[in-house]
Structure 1
Amino acid sequence: MVKDFKFSRLVTPVMAPLNSWRKLPNLAKYTLYTRLSLQSIPVVLLLVYFLAVIANAQSLDLSFLWLFISGLVLLVFTVLVYEFHPSLNSRPRRNVQPFFVAGLALNLVVFVASVIVQLPVLEGFTTESIRAFALVYTVTCAFLLSIAYVPWLNYRWAWIIAISGVLWWINTTTNYLTAIGVIMPAAMAGTVRLSIWTVDVMKEAERSRELEASLRVTEERLRFAQELHDTLGQHLAAMSVKSELALALAKRGDDRLENELRELQKLTRTSMSEMREVVSGYRTINLATEVEGAKSLLADAHINLSVIGTTSQVSPDHRELCAWLVREATTNILRHSDATDVTLTLSSKEVRIDNNGVTKEITKLSGLSALRSRAESAGMTLFVSREGDIFSVRMLLDYTDDTVATERPTS
């Protein structure tokens, strides 16, 4: 028991970072990996550089300690720039501007001062050791500028050319640099810019994924709203017709009143049931049932419905969407027309509904517009047209460009 407790205390500090890493989203993992990789480059290279200076130095004094501490300060600013720069983070963090400006200014001051110390006109005023330390400062600042500041500056290539030019001048006057050192600024800045580009690509991919998820939610909401409209629209129109009929029968004392009230009650229960199915997402609709329902509903409104063809002629893959068309068209006839005759044509090529009694200007019919979008996604299309007082709705089941004559798509 005691051994297990001691073992868990030893393992917990090791496993905690690993568990935290596993919980991070993919984008956060990638930005963290990129950030740590870039931070490790100056740390490792400057460490190796200072170790090489120590190995080649004959003796070390306080001036070297000062050189090491100042180089460490410059390195800290570099690490902080990487840590807080928004280009290398997946979420907002502390403002990087103070660290960036302070580090850039400090590096530029040290870089320019160290170059000035190495000018030939000052050889009589400086010792060899001072010039050697100035060279170390020049190379260190050139490296840190190239890897941590220049990649985010305007006219970055002008900066790289200027820094490379200084290093080329040092290469021609001393034996401490090689051609590889001269091209270092371009290589370092290019590496950082490539890393930033890959992080931006990952961020864009993540934004696209989030946008796609948002669009799916919006699409589902629109589908739900449309199905709720399609379900309740017809039933509410039917209930309005039934209630008016019941009111008229009640005034006359007609014996059919009880039967109409029972049908009204049945219609109310059906509406509640279908609304629950919409909410649950398990609602289905049947073309034959909708055709019979349209007959009954239109007959109650004293509208004659003639059916040409049978529902079996319509492909099973298309019947559900055609059933929605019959329901929506019936609702629109009751709401927006003074129809007396309606013709429903069913075939393997199209489902068409024509009605008379259209006396008003046809405005945008949102139900048909939404239905047209659903039809197009299923490889069909929907057209509406009007000639005089005749209004037609056509669902083309086998749609090609040659099918269209003078029809006007729903807006």
Structure 2
Amino acid sequence: MKGREGVIGRVRAWRHDWHKRSKLQRIDLYSRVTLCSVTWFLALSWGFLPLLTTLDRGPAAMTLAGAFLAVNITQSVVSNLNVTAAYAHYRGVEPFPARRLRLSAVLLLATTVLLVALAASDAVQGEELILLVLGLPVAFSVPYVLLVPVRSFLLRSAAFGLIVVGLLAAVGLPGEQLLGASVSLLVVALLVLVSARPSIWSLTVMWQAEEARHMQARLAVAEERLRFGRDMHDVLGRNLSVIALKSELAVELAQRGNPAAVDQMIEVQRIARASQQEVRDVVRGYREADLPTELMGARGVLQAAGIAVTVEGADGPAGIGAPAAVQAALGWVVRETVTNVLRHGDPSHCWIRLSRTRDAVVLEVENDGAGADGGPGPDGGSGSGLAGLGERLGAIGGSVSAGPAGDDRFRVTATVPLDARVPDAPSGLTAPTDPTEER
């Protein structure tokens, strides 16, 4: 019973780990597992089945066959261990240690010698020998094709083929079988080349595209920060300089007993209050952007992250035509929910829908890739995003709900009455953080 529970637990852990991976990570894992599986498939078919003919050909033939099979299996294990490192080398992540290739080369030499010995002793003949030749270099070639240029791989494969055919000719293999061995070695070299290298090349291109999307999103956030910094500098820079100069003048006048110092400080006070109001206006522009602006910003950020966006209903009275107070509230919902779409799950598509009832506007933000368990809530299970939205909309008579929507989707629904009057933002609510920092 405990054994079965342990197996079930491991299966659940594997399933959970699989769902935690992004789509690109799943493709990456699938491709590498496929390469490793091809090695074992050929080792246990072309490299094993022909050896069954040695069972009735004496102890020497059986011993050679057993040694060949053991070395071939060892070569497959070493090849699987080298695939990930060779892939990292191909992507330019880290260089492949040359020492790891030495053992594989020694094992290839050993299987070649054993194959020639099997042919010399007539332990395997005809089609069985051709099948062994066909699977001979596969385990070594799968990682090796990722380590060298295509031209070098083809030239070295041709040189290896000439050596094998020469050794087989030296032990008296007939010309017909030599031709078959030559064709087999050529076919397997091309097979490995056109199957392994294009697959890994495609993965590399996808990873580069993913990194470019992340960089684009980070650049968009950096550009917005620079814009905010420029606005703050334009608002405060001149006023602070004037305040500093008038304060110095007031100090000098006060030291001389000149009553004009009071007039200068009154002017400083006026400028300081005006600066406070200007700062509030700048911050309000970022915190209370209207709905069309937020929808355009959401589309740009999501598309920069490689997520397709569909916006429905934004061109009617429920969208741009809604009252300014309603737009401000819904704009905050769009900003917060889009941030959480980027943070959680592995979405490939996001739907933003606006609709109007008799007395309210309804906004739905839905995304796929939420995971088998429906995905985390808008606050990720630990933050205050959902609670903050609920408090903000509750203050104007609105509401917000969130939860799984089926088919691996997650949906946030916000309702705002058309007669809403948005109060000042609660002090506890701050502008959303950079969505790329928690991806």
TM-score (norm 1): 0.54
Is 1:271 the counterpart of 2:266? The answer is no
Match among 145, 148, 152 for residue 147 of structure 2: 152
Bigger helix share: 1
CA distance in 1, matches of 2:193, 2:86: 16
Q: Map of 1:121-270 to 2, 5 A cutoff?
A: 126-129=120-123, 138-154=133-149, 155-164=152-161, 172-174=175-177, 179=183, 182-243=186-247, 246=250, 251=256, 253-254=258-259, 257-270=261-274
Letter in 1 for 2:73: L
Q: Give the root-mean-square deviation of aligned CA atoms.
A: 4.2
Secondary structure of the residue that 1:85 maps to in structure 2?
helix
Secondary structure of the residue that 1:174 maps to in structure 2?
helix
Moved more, 186-195 or 221-230: 221-230
CA distance in 2, matches of 1:10, 1:87: 32
Map of 1:87 onto structure 2: 88
- 1:103-135 per-position Cα deviation (integer Å, ceiling 9, x unaligned): 134314543x357658xxxx9xx4212778986
Q: CA 1:163–1:173 in 2, change beyond 3 Å: closer, same or farther?
A: farther
Q: Map of 1:259-338 to 2, 5 A cutoff?
A: 259-275=263-279, 282=286
Q: Map of 1:71-86 to 2, 5 A cutoff?
A: 71-86=72-87
Moved more, 238-247 or 257-266: 238-247
Q: CA 1:50–1:109 in 2, change beyond 3 Å: closer, same or farther?
A: closer
CA distance in 2, matches of 1:190, 1:253: 91
Letter in 1 for 2:147: W
Give structure 1 stretches of 5+ with no counterpart: 285-411
Secondary structure of the residue that 2:45 maps to in structure 1?
helix
Q: CA 1:134–1:8 in 2, change beyond 3 Å: closer, same or farther?
A: closer
> CA shift at 1:40, angstroms?
0.6
Secondary structure of the residue that 2:286 maps to in structure 1?
coil
> CA shift at 1:9, angstroms?
5.8
TM-score (norm 2): 0.51
Match among 36, 40, 45 for residue 43 of structure 1: 40
- 1:62-98 per-position Cα deviation (integer Å, ceiling 9, x unaligned): 4332222111111111111113324389896896543
> CA shift at 1:35, angstroms?
0.6
CA distance in 2, matches of 1:10, 1:145: 34
> CA shift at 1:58, angstroms?
5.3
Flag the structure with more relative contact order, 1 or 2, with Cα contacts below 8 A and sequence separation at least 6.
Answer: 2
CA distance in 1, matches of 2:273, 2:5: 63
Q: CA 1:198–1:172 in 2, change beyond 3 Å: closer, same or farther?
A: farther
Secondary structure of the residue that 2:56 maps to in structure 1?
coil
CA distance in 2, matches of 1:218, 1:208: 15
Map of 1:70 onto structure 2: 71
Moved more, 63-72 or 239-248: 239-248
Letter in 2 for 1:70: V
CA contact (8 A) 1:87 1:196 kept: no
- 1:152-189 per-position Cα deviation (integer Å, ceiling 9, x unaligned): 23411212333455677779442875956642211212
CA contact (8 A) 2:246 2:264 kept: yes
Moved more, 53-62 or 64-73: 53-62
CA distance in 2, matches of 1:161, 1:39: 24
> CA shift at 1:27, angstroms?
3.7
CA contact (8 A) 1:163 1:185 kept: no
- 1:218-258 per-position Cα deviation (integer Å, ceiling 9, x unaligned): 3233223212221211111332454366467655745x654
CA distance in 2, matches of 1:246, 1:252: 10
Letter in 2 for 1:30: I
Letter in 1 for 2:139: L
CA distance in 1, matches of 2:102, 2:81: 12
Letter in 1 for 2:121: T
CA distance in 2, matches of 1:196, 1:226: 44
CA distance in 1, matches of 2:6, 2:188: 46
CA distance in 1, matches of 2:136, 2:84: 19
CA distance in 2, matches of 1:89, 1:8: 41
Q: CA 1:9–1:94 in 2, change beyond 3 Å: closer, same or farther?
A: farther
| Larger Rg over CA atoms | 1
CA contact (8 A) 1:227 1:278 kept: yes
